[in-house]
Structure 1
Amino acid sequence: MRLTVLGCAGSFPGPESACSAYLVEAEGFRLLIDFGSGSLTALQRYAAIDAIDAILITHLHCDHMLDACTYVVVRRYSPDGPLPPLPVYAPMGAAERIAAAYSSEAEPVDDVYTFYGLQPGTFPIGPLTVTVDRVNHPIETYGVRVEHNGHVLAYSSDTAPCEPLLRLAQGADVFLCEASYLDGRQNPPDLHLTGGEAGQAATKADVGRLLLTHLVPAWASEASTVEAACAAYAGPVEVVRPGSRYDL
């Protein structure tokens, strides 16, 4: 597998990055995990704009799905004719949410996307084996585990500490984990992780490498976030950047 970070800013686009979007490739298959605001720009740097084979949206906050609305134009109005409907794995209500954001008339988008409702469990997407489970966030949100040829990528999506996150990340080669808040503050409960909490999860799940994402530059110090993560996890820690690539 190859992971390419298209966007990694948390909650809203940052000065240097679009919001969450991660391209996972294996055997020529391209799965886009999340499609946050601004990430369609970055997608075009690393793949043909019409070359995505499937999309998985972890939850329906704008910073994880809004560019799926913009992408309707790409697939519906291509000069070569409409492209085939694209599989989208997402929480229930995604079709209505995307349609409402795309058009004030809530024009259906079933000519562009074929929607599959997420629920906890394991299923194939192309050559990938994907497991999702509900994590601790105010709306229906899924953490993700992706397996291929014995290698494992885990992705927290947005979550506060919870047991399903540890199960999804257990033994992963790479753990892509959000770290939105600073340790030592009275942060809102049941919403996001701190760097220290991300490090604790990585240690408990015995992962091989911790990649921090979804940092919010306007709210938190990157250096302090990394310091807290490293204090809780002894393995390699890195803050991802747009364009970062990781081979598993």
Structure 2
Amino acid sequence: MKLTIIGCTGSMSGPRAVASSYLVQAWGRGPDGGRRRFSVVLDLGPGSMGQLLNHLDPAELDALAISHCHADHMVDMVGMHVYRRWNPAGPLDPVLTLGPTELMGRLRGVDGVGPEESYATEFSFHAAVPGTPVRVGPLTITPFAACHPVEAYGYRVEGPRETGTGVASLAFTGDTDMCEGIVAMARGVDLLLAEAAFVEGRDTVRGMHLTGRRAGQLAAGGGAGRLVLTHIQPWTDPAVPVAEAGEVYPGPVDVAASGASWEI
């Protein structure tokens, strides 16, 4: 299984990266028995659709999973809709789209269309249900309830290891504060992709985001093999949440950067 960072800046596009979007891929057998790479995208924040084109033809996308309906995590679904409906080679089939119950209505609002628009030819909407897995080729995607001001989920993704045998696992927090669902999601994963939008002592509002320290506690408590910090605000020096995480988590800590990838 391979993770590639499409976008990672917190709450907006930043000077060095676009907003949240992550590509997860794994090799498996297609319906015809042939071996191919399956691709899932987690979130499509502002600017991410364009950057995704550097890594994947969206015609080859197998599933899309949206953590929540704040614009910095889903607004480029409009671009995906345009690409799939008006592709010069012909309309693409609807792609499996997992997310909050309000996702279609939120997309209509961003797109500026009325309730007659169903996006049925571009997206096959499925409401995320905590603890209920969704299979996409060799990948299993399981939603977990997050703690954020809107309906929100983290996703645990399991699939074949990139090299060798066995099952690899990663967990993506979406936007969340520490909560029971996210703790369960992160337990025992090889790689924890955790947001760290807040800084200890500076951002005191709870029920919204993790700090680097809380992300580190999440990784340490769950025994994660590696911690990758993401969704860091443009005004925050990434070294700050990295240092916070390192105080409580003994494993490797990386900062998400556009184009960076990890093989699990």
Pairwise TM-score range, normalised by the shorter structure? over 0.9
Considering only aligned residues, what root-mean-square deviation do their CA atoms show, in Å? 1.2
User: Which of 173, 177, 181 is 1:156 aligned to?
Assistant: 173
Q: Which residue of 1 aligns with 2:251?
A: 235
Equivalent residue letter for 1:9: T
Asked whether 1:68 is paired with 2:77, we answer: yes
Scaled by the length of structure 1, the TM-score of the pair is 0.96
Match of 1:55 in 2: 64
Equivalent position to 1:93, from 84, 95, 102: 102
Output the TM-score relative to the length of structure 2.
0.90
Is residue 153–residue 172 contact of structure 1 (8 Å, CA) maintained in 2?
Answer: yes
CA deviations on 1:51-85 (whole Å, 9 max, x unpaired) are 21110111111111111111111010111211111
Aligned equivalents of 2:56, 2:229: Cα separation in 1: 24
Write the distance in 2 (CA, Å) between the matches of 1:79 and 1:50: 12
Structure 2 residue aligned with 1:79: 88
1:223 CA displacement = 1.4
Counterpart for residue 139 of structure 2: 128
Q: Which runs of 5+ in 1 are unaligned?
A: none
Q: Matched residues in 2 for 1:71 and 1:102: separation? A: 11
Distance in 2, matches of 1:184 and 1:235, equals 24
Give 1:179's match in structure 2, choosing from 171, 196, 212.
196
Residue among 226, 233, 237 paired with 1:209: 226
The question of whether the paired residues in 1 share the 8 Å contact of 2:155 and 2:171 is answered with yes
Partners of 1:51 and 1:123 lie apart in 2 by: 18
Q: Give ranges in structure 2 of 5+ residues lacking alignment.
A: 28-36, 161-166
Work out which of the residue numbers 90, 93, 117 in structure 1 matches 2:127.
117
How many residues get paired? Answer: 247
2:260 to 236, 244, 248: 244
User: 2: distance between equivalents of 1:74 and 1:87?
Assistant: 15
Amino acid aligned to 1:103: G
Q: Quick check: 231-240 or 179-188, which moved more? A: 179-188
CA–CA distance in structure 2, aligned partners of residues 244 and 193 of structure 1: 22
Q: Does the 8 Å contact 1:6/1:20 carry over to 2?
A: yes
Tell me what 1:20 maps to: 20
Is the contact made by 2:62 and 2:136 (CA closer than 8 Å) also made in structure 1? no
Contact 2:5 2:256 in 1 (8 A): yes
Q: Is the 8 A contact 1:182 1:221 kept in 2?
A: no
Runs of 4+ with >6 A deviation: none
Is 1:35 the counterpart of 2:51 in the alignment?
Answer: no
CA distance in 1, matches of 2:263, 2:51: 19
Q: Helix, strand or coil for the counterpart of 1:6?
A: strand
- The partner residue of 2:209 within 184, 189, 192 is 192
